[in-house]
Amino acid sequence: MGKRTYLKRSGKKNRHHNLAKERGGRRTPTNMILLDEYRHSAFHLLFGNRTFKEAARVLLRANQMMERREE
């Protein structure tokens, strides 16, 4: 099987605000994380301007829905 290019890191880093600037997030070390540009784009594509905790809730809710379907 070939290399999974979607898993490769681009090398370029982007600053990601946990709480988006539009929602009052500030540029502080506790609100920022450096992400590879591909992962940064993917996060926003999947979760918009949600925080990490909000994104986790979406994933947990989706998992619960899938488990209910399997019952």
> What burial class does residue 15 get, using C-beta atoms within 10 Å of its C-beta: 0-12 exposed, 13-18 middle, 19+ buried?
exposed
Q: Which of 9-13, 39-43, 60-64 has the lowest mean pLDDT?
A: 9-13
Domain boundaries, the chain: 12-70
pLDDT greater than 70 at residue 59? yes
Per-residue model confidence (pLDDT) at position 9 = 63
Please name the amino acid found at residue 68: R
More confident residue, 71 or 39: 39
pTM: 0.75
